[in-house]
Amino acid sequence: MNRYETVVSGGYQSAASANKVLKNTYLLLSATLFFSAVMAAVSIALQVPSIAYIISVIGAMVMGIFVLPRTANSSKGIGVIFLITGLLGFGLGPILSMYLSLPNGPQTIATAFGGTGIIFLGLSGYALTSKRDFSFMGGFLFAGMMVLVVGMIANLFLQMPLLSLVVAGGIILVMSGFILFDTSRILRGGETNYIMATYGLFLSLFNIFISLLQILGIFGSDE
Partner 1 sequence: MDWMTILGTVAGIMMLVFLWPAYKHWSQNSPKAEQGDWASVLVALGAVVLLVIVLIALVR
Chain positions contacting partner 1, by CB under 8 A:
50-51, 54-55, 57-58, 61-62, 65, 104, 107-108, 111-112, 115, 118-119, 122-123, 126, 130, 132-139, 141-143, 145-146, 149-150, 152-153, 156-157, 169, 172-173, 176-177, 180, 212, 215-216, 219-220
Residues in the chain: 223
Exposure on the CB side of residue 166, measured as CA atoms within 13 A: 14
Q: Which is nearer to partner 1, 75 or 159 (CB)?
A: 159
- Quote the least distance from Cβ 149 to partner 1, whole Å: 5
- The residue type of 43 is S
- Least spacing, CB of residue 191 vs partner 1, in Å: 13
Residue 65: CB minimum distance to partner 1, A:
5
Q: Among the residues of 131-193, which ranges form H helices?
A: 138-158, 161-187
Smallest distance, Å, CB 1 to partner 1?
31
Residue nearer to partner 1 on the CB measure, 111 or 192: 111
Closer to partner 1 at the Cβ: 9 or 107? 107
Helix (H, G, I), strand (E, B) or coil at 141: helix
Return the closest-CA partner of residue 65 out of 74, 76, 57.
57
Q: By C-beta, is 5 or 222 nearer to partner 1?
A: 222
Closest distance to partner 1 from the beta carbon of 218 (Å): 9
The H or E element that residue 26 is part of is: helix 2-46
CA proximity to 208, closest of 166, 171, 182? 171
Q: Select from 88, 84, 86 the least CA-distant residue to 69.
A: 84
